[in-house]
Amino acid sequence: MLRDPEKTIGKLMHHQKLCFLATTDDDGFPVTRAMGRPRKVVGVSVQYFSTNTSSNKVAQLRKNPKASVYYCDRRFIRGVLLRGTVEVLEDADIKTLLWEDGDEKFYPQGAADPDYCVLKFTATSGRYYSSLKSEDFPV
C-alpha cells in the first residue's frame, strides 16, 4: 500500500496549504487548530512552524510537548497523522532563518519580536490513510 513513505507523505504534505496541530489543554482534552504549512521540513519527521509566543498552544506545549500534526488531501480523500513532540524555540538564529517577507504585519519588531517563536515538531510515529485503508509507517 505505502511503498515509499518519505516520497508519498512528503508530496502530500508539500501540496497542502494548511495542516492541523493538536495539543492537550490543562484538563487533558485535545485542542486542534489549523496551522499554515511548515516553514521548513526535514524528511517527514521534522517540521518547523512559526507562531505567536503568547498563544495558548505555546503555553500548552510548554506544559506537555506531546502533539500531533495532520495533513489532509481533500481531493483524493487521503491524509497523514504524525505523532511526536514539539520544542518551542526562541533562538535568534532559527527565528531569523525562518523569517519570511510579510511576517512583519504579525511581528512588528521583526525576527527579534518577543511574540515570534518557532515550533519544532519531531514525529515519532505516523499513520497514512488512503483508499479506505490505513497503515502505520516508520518515521
110 in a structural domain: yes
Cα(51)–Cα(64) distance, integer angstroms: 17
pTM metric for this prediction? 0.94
Q: What is the domain range of residue 93?
A: 5-127
Q: Is 94 left (phi over 0), alpha (psi -120 to 50) or beta?
A: alpha
Give me the sign of the Cα torsion angle 32, 125, 118, 90: positive
Report if residue 91 sits inside a domain: yes
Residue 15 lies in a domain: yes
> Within 10 Å of residue 18's Cβ, how many Cβ atoms?
11
The confidence score (pLDDT) of residue 1 equals: 61
CB 49 within 8 A of CB 41: no
pLDDT of residue 5: 82
Geometric angle at alpha carbon 19, from 14 and 83, rounded to 5°: 100
> Domain of 79: which CATH number?
2.30.110.10
Question: Does some domain include residue 113?
Answer: yes
Per DSSP, the residues of 65-78 read: -EEEEEEEETTTTE
In a domain, 52, yes or no: yes
Q: In the prediction, which pLDDT does 6 show? A: 87
For residue 32, being part of any structural domain is answered with: yes
* Structural domain total, the chain: 1
132 in a structural domain: no
| pLDDT per residue rounded down to tens, the chain (139 residues) | 678 888 999 999 999 999 999 999 999 999 999 999 999 999 999 999 999 999 999 999 999 999 999 999 999 899 999 999 999 999 999 999 999 999 999 999 999 999 999 999 999 999 999 989 999 998 8
Q: How many CA atoms does the CB half-sphere of 8 hold within 13 Å?
A: 17
In a domain, 78, yes or no: yes
